[in-house]
Amino acid sequence: MPRLQPNEIHNRDFDFIIIGGGTAGCVLANRLSSGNKEYTVLVLEAGTVTQQDLLEVQIPLLNGKLKKTDQDWQLKSVQQRNVDDRSIAVPLGKLLGGSSAFNACIYHRCSPSDYDAWNAEGWSYRDLQPYFRKAETFHDEKKVDTSIHGTQGPLHATHISKSTQLGSCFKKACRNYGLNEYRDMTDLTCQIGVTGLDASIYQGHRSSAGSSYLSSEFEAQQSNLFIGLGCKVTRLMVQGNNVVGVEYTNDGKVYTVNTKREVILSAGAILSPFILLASGIGPGSELKEVGVDVKVDLPGVGKNLQNHWRVPLVHETVSSDMSLHDGLFKRAKESLEQAINTRDGTFTELWPDAVAYMKVPNAPDNSSSIENTPQIELFVGGLALCRELPSLKHLDCATLLMVYVTPFSKGTVKLTAEGTPSIDLALLSDERDLECIEKGLKVSMQIADDTEYAKCIKRWIMRPDEDLTEYIKANVDTLHHYAGTCKMGPKEDPLAVVDNRLRVHGVDGLRVVDASFFPIVPAGQICYPVIACAERASDIILEDNKRKLVLIALGIVGFTNHIVFSIVGWIIAFLLVLVEIPLCLKVCPTSPKLDGFIAYFENCYFRAILYLVFAVVMFLSNLLNVGPLIACGVSLLLASICYGIAAFTGQAYASSKILGGTGVDNVV
């Protein structure tokens, strides 16, 4: 896979340009370039490094060190008025692999009904299940159930069989609460219960979309895949309703690159809508307000922003083996050496030991199924997951992390007049969310207070007393599962941005493939869902382009989506045929009809050349990306010249040799 410097990409043409070499972008790059070796595929990634370059990416529990570095976009929300005007940090991966190279490695398929609730043709769980399996090679110390899990995919995931005291006390407490315990909940219709975890970790290293889909072995095979690191896309180049290329910057210089087929936006749920807005594709009135030319008025761009929210309960543990703090902080040097040299030890682990998926009793329910799917996840693990961590490193701590996965509130991504993204997470803007979080926190405390779990607690460090609301407002934070800002839906849906083939409504040659197209954020961890959906999207794109080749061959659409041109071409061709048939019959009135046709075409071979030239001009104009009107004009001009020659020569030839002059005067 050739790596290109930003200046080497300038002005070149590629079949597909993928904006963002993140989670979805890496999947697309792999599948599109290997799906058809004739296609040239370019990935433009703003980050400058890959997983191979950084230990902090390879070793799972070093990921915290990536925040607030060059590998983080370091974005922030606008002040959230329902949580004491706090502005909330929005960390996002800025490197090859994107947020999959930056995240906490929790690997989860979410609930089947989460996908069915999208109500989009081709995107039910039944449609996606083969893609979940296609993506993964699943590892389990017990036998892998191949009816559920894949064994041939690029992404390595492992069933974590931690049998810690913290985890087992928690599971017992959850069982006392009434939850069933499962070894593996993947694929179950009902996702309520307590279980262990799966991780996108294999042999002590992170398995990101970058390291798995764009591995060095793959790199060596793909001469048609090009990657430009350090290329920050600033806008799409839009001609009429057609995306013809992309503008990007590096080191203060502005470059452009052209597409022969499609641009695919995979910059994530915050930055994909931002790029659309900066390109003039979005809500017309909002764009005008910030001085951007409206290319396509698409009201849904940047709306429908969804996320998951977490609230921690932190305690000191009764023994050091219940906490990761010993390995991570007190003996950090030895553990890190262990992680590097033997690929095991504390740094190579997942932080939680177990998770419970639950309903919140007597609370408004926004889940995809009132019976089957959770409203909250309750993780337990030996880490103080709170802002106070720096002052708690010397203690042995654990957290019960309550994650609210079915919020009602919806935020927005907008463009400011300064050209930056304005992210409003709309946290607790719907009051039902506060009710659910409060009641969910009560359930979490009930489990924590169970005698089985109480055995693990030395003392509480963070736990609400009387005032739940104040505690939530002070401590609620994001779990970074942003989705929904380029919603998939039919054209009639005022918030829909892409159709179910992920094509942007009203724009040709542009798709969005990343967490932004999810109409509803799945109620769980969303990295693996993004990967499976990008797998499906790759098949859709390959299929549509194969179909398009047939249509191009038939002259129904053009290479560059010049549908107007193609339609005009078809009308001309149709008129020519209309003219041909009566003329032909007129030329040969006394012959049987078939002989008449043959005689006619045998003697008007210039006509055949005329049609050929017409077809070639249509094809070339399309290929060379000439605008529809110019292309039509040129083809008509050439067609008329050829027609003139055909008429003159055909008449002379036919009059003298075969038809003795009957009617041929009228041929053209």
Q: Which of 6, 93, 345, 374 binds ligand FAD (CB under 6 A)?
A: 93
Pairing of strands 13-19, 253-265: parallel
Number of residues binding to ligand FAD, judged by CB under 6 A: 41
Contact string 473-492 vs ligand FAD (x = CB under 6 A): -------xx-----------
178 vs 252, beta carbon nearer ligand FAD: 252
For residues 627, 38, 512, 102, the Cα torsion angle rounded to the nearest 10 degrees is -140
Query: Is residue 44 near ligand FAD by the rule CB under 6 A?
Result: yes
User: Across-strand partners of 327?
Assistant: none
24 vs 626, beta carbon nearer ligand FAD: 24
User: Whose CA is closest to 28, among 231, 263, 250?
Assistant: 263
Cβ 98 to ligand FAD shortest distance, Å: 3
Helix H or strand E encompassing 334: helix 332-342
Cβ 112 to ligand FAD shortest distance, Å: 17
Residue 96 near residue 47, CB atoms below 8 Å: yes
> By CB under 6 A, which span of 54-62, 95-103, 147-155, 418-426 interacts with ligand FAD?
95-103
98 vs 596, beta carbon nearer ligand FAD: 98
Q: Which of 358, 498, 530, 537 binds ligand FAD (CB under 6 A)?
A: 530
Cβ 99 to ligand FAD shortest distance, Å: 3
349 vs 514, beta carbon nearer ligand FAD: 514
User: Whose CA is closest to 305, among 179, 485, 137?
Assistant: 485
24 vs 557, beta carbon nearer ligand FAD: 24
Crossing angle of the two packed helices 593-603 and 605-623, in degrees rounded to 10:
70
Query: Is residue 527 near ligand FAD by the rule CB under 6 A?
Result: yes
Contact string 240-269 vs ligand FAD (x = CB under 6 A): --------------------------xxxx
Query: Is residue 150 near ligand FAD by the rule CB under 6 A?
Result: no
User: Across-strand partners of 249?
Assistant: 232, 254
**Cα–Cα–Cα angle for 24, 27, 30, rounded to 5 degrees:** 150
Cβ 338 to ligand FAD shortest distance, Å: 22
382 vs 569, beta carbon nearer ligand FAD: 382
Contact string 98-117 vs ligand FAD (x = CB under 6 A): xxx-xxxxx-x---------
Cβ 56 to ligand FAD shortest distance, Å: 12
How far apart CA 634 and CA 555 sit, in angstroms, is: 16
User: What residues numbered 275-304 form the site for ligand FAD, per CB under 6 A?
Assistant: 275
How far apart CA 272 and CA 358 sit, in angstroms, is: 32
Query: Is residue 45 near ligand FAD by the rule CB under 6 A?
Result: yes
The DSSP output letter for 78 is P
Cβ 526 to ligand FAD shortest distance, Å: 5
Amino acid 613 reads V
Cβ 514 to ligand FAD shortest distance, Å: 3
Cβ 234 to ligand FAD shortest distance, Å: 7
Residue 186 near residue 232, CB atoms below 8 Å: no
> By CB under 6 A, which span of 88-96, 214-222, 612-620, 634-642 interacts with ligand FAD?
88-96
For residue 575, give every residue at least 6 positions away whose Cβ sits within 8 Å of its Cβ, in sequence order, or none.
none
Q: Which residue stretches of 504-562 are H helix?
A: 527-553
Contact string 203-242 vs ligand FAD (x = CB under 6 A): -----------------------------xx---------
How far apart CA 51 and CA 531 sit, in angstroms, is: 17
Query: Is residue 305 near ligand FAD by the rule CB under 6 A?
Result: no
Cβ 278 to ligand FAD shortest distance, Å: 9
In the bound state, the residue with its beta carbon closest to ligand FAD is 22
105 vs 425, beta carbon nearer ligand FAD: 105
User: What residues numbered 10-29 form the site for ligand FAD, per CB under 6 A?
Assistant: 19-25
Query: Is residue 49 near ligand FAD by the rule CB under 6 A?
Result: no
Q: What CA–CA distances, in Å, run from 63 to 2, 120, 367, 613? A: 28, 35, 30, 61
DSSP letter string over 273-284?
HHHHHHTTEE-H
User: Whose CA is closest to 245, among 210, 200, 279?
Assistant: 279
Cβ 516 to ligand FAD shortest distance, Å: 7
525 vs 635, beta carbon nearer ligand FAD: 525
CA 553 to mean position of chain CA atoms:
31
104 vs 423, beta carbon nearer ligand FAD: 104
Q: Which of 363, 515, 523, 552 binds ligand FAD (CB under 6 A)?
A: 515
- Residue 426 gets the label, from left (phi > 0), alpha (psi -120 to 50) or beta, of left
Q: How many CB atoms lie within 10 A of CB 236?
A: 26
Amino acid 362 reads N
The DSSP output letter for 300 is T
How far apart CA 100 and CA 83 sit, in angstroms, is: 29
How far apart CA 401 and CA 312 sit, in angstroms, is: 5
10 Å CB burial of residue 465 (0-12, 13-18, 19+) is exposed
**Residues contributing to the site for ligand FAD (CB under 6 A):** 19-25, 44-47, 91-94, 98-100, 102-106, 108, 232-233, 266-269, 271, 275, 480-481, 514-515, 525-528, 530
